[in-house]
Structure 1
Amino acid sequence: MKTCPNCGYQRRPIDDRYGIISAGECPKCRVIYRKMETPAARANDAVSDTTGKIKHESISDRSPSNKIDSAGDSTIETIEIQQDNHKDTEGYRKAYLVADNNRYAGRSAATHHLTGFTTLRQGGQELERINAEFSKHEAATVENEGKFKAIWESVQTGIVITDPENHVIVDVNPAAVRMIGASREEIIGSVYHQYIRPAEVGQCPVADSGDLANRSECLLLTSGGGKRQVIKTAANVTLGGRTHLLENFVDITGRKQAEKSLRKSEERFRLLAENAKDAIWTMDMDFQYSYLSPYVKQILDYTPEEYMAKPLKETMTAASVEICRRVFAEELAIEAKDDKDLLRSRTFEVDHLHRNGKTVPVEIKMTFIRNNAGRAIGILGYTRDITDRKQAEEMLKKSEEKFRFLAEHMNDNIFTMDMNLKTTYVSRSMEKLLGFTPEERMKQGITEQVTPASLKVIEQILSEELEREQTGLADPDRSRKFEVEYYHKNGTAVWVENVISGIRDEQGILTGIHGVSRDITERREAEKALRESFGRLRKALGATVQAMAIAVETRDPYTAGHQRRVADLARTIATEMGLSGNAKDGIRTAAMIHDLGKISVPSEILTKPAKLTDLEFSLIKTHAWSGYDIIKDIDFPWPVARMILEHHERIDGSGYPNGLKGEQLLLESRILAVADVVESMASHRPYRPGLGIEKALEDIEKNRGILYDAEAVDACLDLFRTKSYAFPD
């Protein structure tokens, strides 16, 4: 491009055929520039027969003389050359005259060069026409160059122009720059094989053999050493009169990775399909198999190829063929809807035909294979042999029938409830038990079934069981037994024993209650009679024991009331220690007659007011064994005889009659021992006055854990010192 010294506009030099070598016509201000080989002058259309005034400015490479005042030609009035940055003299149009060697001619030379001005004007008009035509073509060229540049810079395909003789890259577009990862300046001038086809250094298939690559795959190296897969196309182009190689390439690395992943996915699918315990298959929309996994051999004894060659009607029973056609028709009807679920599947059961002629029950699950538009183009499914399941279901059905038969004909009532205590099932025996039919019972709420007191019992039990559930530690197979009163249809109340357990889902979550109800009216009446009889017996036993105690006190009047007071204290200590009611009753009974053996001791020794001799004391010691011998054959509900035998034993083994220690003694015996010592020391004896309760407490406190049981001592001390216990009168 050249710059117009007149207006600053930039443009190309015009063609040599117009006789212009290094100058041209400015399309903006219409000034013509030219360097002449001979002493001649040229002017553009600004020099016309209407102006009569020409202004000359230098375009030479050195400053001209300051002024040429006159050219001496009548056509030219003034020729003025200035050095003031081409400022125009107002009212003058412009023309440039150039002499040999780009030097200004003197005054006479300027006149000489303009003598042919009339001829020049005619030539200028022709030149103006030619320049106008050239400008039109040049504008089109500029537009095309702009389009080419836009494509070159924006296209996503990498383009490289290479000199085939030396394999050097001469140009590269931005897309190729991005792929290679180096700057444009670094790439241009590099050897082609530095980046493309690195294994073929020094070779050029196009230049050497003329084999233009058409969409061939090759390797591209990035500037960072990375490798990318590309598809390359090459073509010969002529630039500057020489043949060059234009190659474009598209990065297919992502596609190759996707293809590799797809192959791996297909391999995994095939591996799964061929090793699955189901026959996996695909069909087209005309029920023609396109794939069938090998497991069909295990199910039907056919190879995949054999089975796929059979028509559908030969692979299953006629009824099953109709099921398949009906299911397929229903699915096609759904396909016609706009709101269909594209991911839906369908499961159904049919009977296939085995090679041996037998039928094999199978479960089929199918779904449609779809194209990118979501249209169904095939079927994907699996076939599962459900022979074992069918046999299990048949066995379960028979088992249920047996269970139902038993449930309907047994005397006990069987029922199920949900977690809101709504009856969900009840056996026919309900009618025999309470007079309601199963249908009537299932319509009743729990408040209509049981008495208010029994409802509280049920609610309490359910609350306790739910708390156990929340701990996560409860036995899921546990059961609970309790007694409640149900309403009979005739208005009476019937006592029933319920045994309940939980109903659980597959995750082990409690979802309901299963129970068995049994009429215990007769049993309760029998228990009531037994309790009454036991009460009478207990009362008689108590009277007998009391009589024995009185008999002892008759022999030893000084100890009158001793056994009764010991019995009260021992029972209170047992209560303080948390023993059961039955254990407390046993201790009280034994304490009431613990000195029964003194009947065998002479009354003179029992009532002697002085200290006993060793012989006399040894006789006294025999009362433990004597009491035991008297009681041992009586069938008390407690170990009374043993407590009588051990009430003088001490936990350190220093007691009598057997010198037993610690855990060898019954707990009841150890309690009785503490109560006996406290009462004896506090009360009057023939050979000494009473020592008082505080002295007795000091003794057991001092010998706590030595002679006496520590827990029994603590309970006794607490009774007297904290709870103000006192012996009864």
Structure 2
Amino acid sequence: MHDPSRTNQELLEENYALKQKIKELEQSDAEYKQVERALRNSEERLRGIAEAMNQLVWIVGADGSSIYHNPRFVEYTGLKGVTAEEIWQIIHPEDRLQLQRRWQEMIRSGSVYQSPCRLRSSVNGNYRWFLIQGSVLRDYDGKAAQCLCIATDIDDFKQAEEALRKSEANYRLLHKSMRDAFARVDLDGTIREFNDAYVEMLGYTSEELKMMNFRDITPEKWHALEAEIIEKQVIPRGYSDVYEKEYRRKDGTVLPVELRTSLLRDYAGKPSAMWAIIRDIGERKKAEDTLRATFKAAPVGLSLMKGRVFQSVNQAWCDITGYSEAEIIGHTTRTLYENEAEYERVR
């Protein structure tokens, strides 16, 4: 109803203000619809990504109600419209309590959690290892509204890890039970690994050995020979012939040893380290020396031959034949016969 006290100017201004308000409302509504379309497009893109993922993806409300699960989740678990309570039932009993604690901590603090656990397959009822990552989705008031979970299958990795653990355990057991010494060194000779027999053989502590190079415990007279063996045998063909050298123990005594050195390569096939089985031959050397002394001192003539070539003779043999050791070593038994025919006859 027209108010006679208001002027035409005031009416015009009021009309203009109403038009501006209507315009603002229309603009706000357009902006709202634009945001709504952008949000819908974003949700569709995210859903498309989740649908294509090989991981198990599901979202539950803060109250445990089902909101979303991707096809991979349904394929593996056989569950549809799943609630949080149903999900707990497909988690391995041994992993359930720990995961529930992590879940509660995530809800309370809003922190992202990550935990390995086993999930039961609907196909065969077997459990496989998954790495579950969970995060809280909050509403506009900052309250926990939903929980997003992604589970990545890590069963093959877990199986390989377990196989490696068992292999390493067997490897350690083998080293500890070996009667011969074992050692692994870098290419520069730094001692990196060894067994108890190696420690006992040398008399150093484990801590001391880890600070040493194998050349530190090898008398200098063997350095050149061993360097040549490494250069000409170990590096080109991957292992050495069995060879002898000496070690110097912590107490200063010298110990004769026999070993074969092998090469280790990295994943790229490049030489990375060397290892060896080392045998204490001190007792064998003593026995050989005793046998050699007995051979030399025997009252009867004795000779050692290989392929009818003299390798060694004792003094009694020299006295009987009239040859000196220097004259006969390296010669065949033909020297003892008058002619070739006689030699061939007794061949």
Provide TM-score, normalisation by structure 2: 0.64
Counterpart of 2:110 in structure 1 is 210
Counterpart of 2:177 in structure 1 is 275
Counterpart of 1:402 in structure 2 is 303
Contact 1:205 1:212 in 2 (8 A): no
**Paired residue type of 2:67:** V
Counterpart of 1:169 in structure 2 is 66
Residue aligned with 1:295, SS: helix
Q: How many Å separate the matches in 1 of 2:145 and 2:131?
A: 23
Contact 1:218 1:231 in 2 (8 A): yes
**Paired residue type of 1:171:** Y
Q: Flag the 1:178–1:427 CA change in 2: closer, same or farther, 3 A.
A: farther
Counterpart of 1:230 in structure 2 is 130
The unaligned stretches of length 5 or more in structure 1 are 1-130, 335-340, 412-424, 442-485, 487-515, 518-729
Candidates 345, 354, 357, aligned match of 2:239: 345
Q: How many Å separate the matches in 2 of 1:315 and 1:189?
A: 64
Q: Flag the 1:158–1:299 CA change in 2: closer, same or farther, 3 A.
A: same
Q: How many Å separate the matches in 1 of 2:284 and 2:76?
A: 61
Q: Flag the 1:311–1:367 CA change in 2: closer, same or farther, 3 A.
A: closer
Contact 2:117 2:131 in 1 (8 A): yes
Q: How many Å separate the matches in 1 of 2:196 and 2:171?
A: 13
Q: CA deviation at 1:238?
A: 6.1
Candidates 310, 322, 333, aligned match of 1:427: 333
**Paired residue type of 1:293:** N
Counterpart of 2:13 in structure 1 is none
The unaligned stretches of length 5 or more in structure 2 are 1-29, 297-301, 306-312, 322-330
Q: Flag the 1:139–1:219 CA change in 2: closer, same or farther, 3 A.
A: closer
Larger Rg: 1
**Paired residue type of 2:74:** V
Residue aligned with 1:191, SS: helix
1:275-329 CA distance string (max 9 Å, x none): 2122111222322112221112443333333344445443111021223333334
Counterpart of 1:152 in structure 2 is 50
**Paired residue type of 1:205:** E
Provide TM-score, normalisation by structure 1: 0.33
Q: CA deviation at 1:427?
A: 2.6
Instruction: Determine if the alignment matches structure 1 residue 368 to structure 2 residue 263.
Output: yes
**Paired residue type of 1:427:** T
Root-mean-square deviation (CA), in Å? 4.3
5 Å matches for 1:99-110?
none
Q: CA deviation at 1:426?
A: 6.7
Q: How many Å separate the matches in 2 of 1:187 and 1:239?
A: 22
**Paired residue type of 2:129:** Q
Q: Flag the 1:313–1:281 CA change in 2: closer, same or farther, 3 A.
A: closer
Q: How many Å separate the matches in 2 of 1:208 and 1:226?
A: 32
Contact 1:278 1:383 in 2 (8 A): yes
Contact 1:301 1:355 in 2 (8 A): yes
Higher relative contact order (CA 8 A, sep 6+): 2
Contact 1:195 1:221 in 2 (8 A): yes
1:100-127 CA distance string (max 9 Å, x none): xxxxxxxxxxxxxxxxxxxxxxxxxxxx
Residue aligned with 1:151, SS: helix
Q: Flag the 1:312–1:238 CA change in 2: closer, same or farther, 3 A.
A: closer
Counterpart of 2:11 in structure 1 is none
Q: Flag the 1:222–1:319 CA change in 2: closer, same or farther, 3 A.
A: same
Counterpart of 2:15 in structure 1 is none
Q: Flag the 1:269–1:332 CA change in 2: closer, same or farther, 3 A.
A: closer
Counterpart of 2:154 in structure 1 is 252
Aligned length: 282
5 Å matches for 1:467-486?
none
Counterpart of 2:6 in structure 1 is none
Q: How many Å separate the matches in 1 of 2:149 and 2:199?
A: 55
5 Å matches for 1:480-519?
none
Residue aligned with 1:177, SS: helix
1:620-652 CA distance string (max 9 Å, x none): xxxxxxxxxxxxxxxxxxxxxxxxxxxxxxxxx
Q: How many Å separate the matches in 2 of 1:154 and 1:437?
A: 94
**Paired residue type of 2:222:** S
Q: Flag the 1:303–1:198 CA change in 2: closer, same or farther, 3 A.
A: closer
Q: How many Å separate the matches in 2 of 1:192 and 1:286?
A: 55
Instruction: Determine if the alignment matches structure 1 residue 191 to structure 2 residue 90.
Output: no
**Paired residue type of 1:162:** V
Q: CA deviation at 1:333?
A: 6.4
Q: How many Å separate the matches in 2 of 1:161 and 1:140?
A: 18
Q: How many Å separate the matches in 2 of 1:171 and 1:410?
A: 105
Candidates 287, 300, 308, aligned match of 2:202: 300
**Paired residue type of 1:381:** A
Contact 1:152 1:173 in 2 (8 A): yes
